[in-house]
Each structure stands twice: as structure tokens, then as C-alpha cells.
Amino acid sequence: MKKRSTFLLSVLVFGFAFLYVPILSLIFYSFNSSRLATIWGGFSVKWYGELFENDLIIDAALLSFRIAAVSATFSVILGVLAGLALSRFGRFRGRLAFTGMITAPLVMPEVITGLSLLLLFVSMEDLVGWPNGRGVTTITIAHITFSMAYVAVIVQSALSGMEENLEEAAMDLGGKPLRVLWDITLPLLTPAMLAGWLLSFTMSLDDLVIASFVSGPGSSTLPMVIFSKVKLGVTPDINALATLIILAVALGVICAGLIMRHQARQKYRL
């Protein structure tokens, strides 16, 4: 027994080192004043200054944030509807096909999704004259389509973990189904919706392949700018950008974890 647990412990240590050494090395070298990774030239924040003077990166970041916020909001709306249908409507006709359509985007290789959406937009423009060219709108639509699947799965699992007795009690007291949905089910879903929104937001912010397919001239998102820069090699200002993103995400995840723990404790106290 003892022997097995030392084995597990060493795997855990090795595994987490594997996961975190690259991230920590990015943070460490973003403060290196030398341009070369192997040489420590002393502590410096000059790459951060350089980053904020790079208009190309700042503009792309702002564009990406805008697209991420809009697409996350729409994904939550569509994903909640889909999640409700999957977990509260019992067995309806075409349920299997609907489930398939929801789960397929989760594993679909990005090159296929990107190519097929681009061809759709081109064909639609040919047929109905919309969308007029490609850019922010088409990227947003593409991001909504793959993010809503994630939100639907989160909402579905939240709903299946939630007991239906609150909803049933409200129905017994004479609440019409829609009223119960609005007053009981949706408020209970707030944490799932928040998690879904954040996940959609980060995935939109992170997407390179699909955005490359469906974007047009003049609408380069942040990952597209980063990719075209790092293809040529390691650059210190991208290290600085990565550090900022990683710190923001870490803070967000830790806050979310603390809030969830706090809520769970309160629940048990009740």
C-alpha cells in the first residue's frame, strides 16, 4: 500500500511539473531584460512597456475582447435553451439527432469547423447577399456555434444534478410552466450560466484556427496576431502578454473556486 502511494505521489509531482514548468518559464522570462532566453540579463519590465506601445497587439486584443463578450452572451442564451431541452423535455422526437448536434462540435477538429463555416458564409453571400464580406460578424457567429455546445453540456449537467422538487413544488402551487422556468429554474442555473459565459469567453479569446478561416481583411484577432509573430520565433513582448493573460486567468479561476466553495458551505449550513 505504502509503495503504491509513493508511486502515485511521484507521478503527481512529475505530472504537475510537466503542466506548470512551461507556464512558469514564460512568466519568469517575461521579466528578463535580455532578449535571449538562455541569458539572464537582470530583472526588467521593459517588455511590458514595449507590449503596450504595440498598437497592432492592443487593437487586436480589443477586437478579441469585443468578439468574446458578444459571442459568450449569445452562446449562453442558446446553450441554456439547448440544455433545458436536453434535460427537462423527456424524450421528444429527434432527441438523438439533437444530442448529436450538440456534442459533435465539442470534439470536431477545428480545421473542419473553420473550413465548413467559411464555405457556408461564401455560399450565403452568393445566394442572399449576406454576410457582406467576412470579419467581426462571421467570427462571432462561428464562436457562438462552437461555444453554445459547451454551455449546453454545462447547463445539462447542472440541471441533472439539481433536484426537480423545487420546480415540482412551484407547479403544484399553480405556477404555469413558463413562470416556473423564469422564477425557479433560471435563477438556480445562474452559476452554470456564469461558468458557461466565462468558458465561452476564454475559448473565443483563444481561437486561432476557426477565426483564421472566417475572418476577412482588417479583422485580425489577438491569436492571429500572436501566431503570425511567434511563427518567426520567441519574442519577449509575447512572454509579457502571456504572463498578463495567465495571471488574469489564474485570478479568475481562483476567485471562482473560492466563491463556489463559499456557496457550497452555505448550502450545507442551511
Partner 1 sequence: MSRDVTNHKLSTLSSGSLVKLAGDVIGRLIQRNWKRLVLAVPLVWLLIFFIVPFVIVLKISLAEGMIARPPFTPLFEWAEDLSFTISITFESFRFLVTDDLYYSSYLNSLLLAGKSTIICLLIGYPMAYGIARSRSDIRGILLLMVVLPFWTSFLLRIYAWMGLLNKNGIINGALLSMGIIDEPLNMMFTEGAIYVGIVYSYLPFMILPLYATMEKLDESLNEAAADLGGKPFTVFYTVTLPLTLPGIVAGSLLVFIPATGEYVIPALLGNYDTLMIGRVLFDEFFSNRDWPVASAVAVALLAFLVVPIMMYQHFQAKDGERS
- Give yes or no for a contact between 238 and 140, defined as CB atoms under 8 angstroms apart: no
**Closer residue to partner 1 (CB): 101 or 169:** 101
**Closer residue to partner 1 (CB): 188 or 246:** 246
User: Cα–Cα distance between 72 and 57 in angstroms, integer?
Assistant: 22
Tell me the C-alpha to C-alpha distance, in Å, between residue 96 and each of 117, 125, 192, 242, 249: 23, 32, 23, 41, 36
Tell me the C-alpha to C-alpha distance, in Å, between residue 77 and each of 83, 155, 178: 10, 11, 16
Backbone Cα Rg of the chain: 23
Please state the closest distance from residue 126 (CB atom) to partner 1, in A.
7
Please state the closest distance from residue 21 (CB atom) to partner 1, in A.
8
Please state the closest distance from residue 256 (CB atom) to partner 1, in A.
9
User: How does 61-80 read in b/e, with b if 16+ C-beta sit within 10 Å?
Assistant: bebbeebbebbbebbbebbb
Please state the closest distance from residue 258 (CB atom) to partner 1, in A.
10
**CB within 8 Å of 25: residues ≥ 6 apart:** none
- CA-wise closest residue to 151 among 78, 203, 68, 202: 78
Please state the closest distance from residue 108 (CB atom) to partner 1, in A.
8
**Closer residue to partner 1 (CB): 73 or 145:** 145
**Closer residue to partner 1 (CB): 231 or 269:** 231
**Closer residue to partner 1 (CB): 34 or 190:** 34
**Cell 457550497 sits on residue:** 264
